[in-house]
Amino acid sequence: MHKEGMRQLKISFTDKDDHVQCIIEDNGIGRKAAREMKITSGQDKKHTSKGIEVSLERLKAMQKSGGAIGSLEIIDLTDDDGVATGTRVEINLPIQN
């Protein structure tokens, strides 16, 4: 059930006033379908991703040390009919002097 056709992964960095924004976007099958595929194949028991968890812990640590607040948001992309068209991750990292 992998995505057919051209696969895309876009990564961009934008310098904002007080933070840097990183946007990562793909045109995959979406998180829900990927999760269902892992459960069906038994892959969900073999591997647990820690990337998001570790990133959130780092953002919290930056805030606790007196830094500005950063953020991480995961957005499920869909077409007009609600069909998954990919995933977008927005990471905002404060600029610290």
Separation of alpha carbons 39 and 37, rounded Å: 5
> At residue 17, does pLDDT exceed 70?
yes
Amino acid type, 55: S
| Most confident by average pLDDT, 17-26, 47-56, 67-76 | 17-26
> At residue 30, does pLDDT exceed 70?
yes
**Contact residues for 43 (Cβ-Cβ < 8 A; gap 6+):** 37
When pLDDT is averaged across residues 15-40 and rounded to a whole number, the result is 84
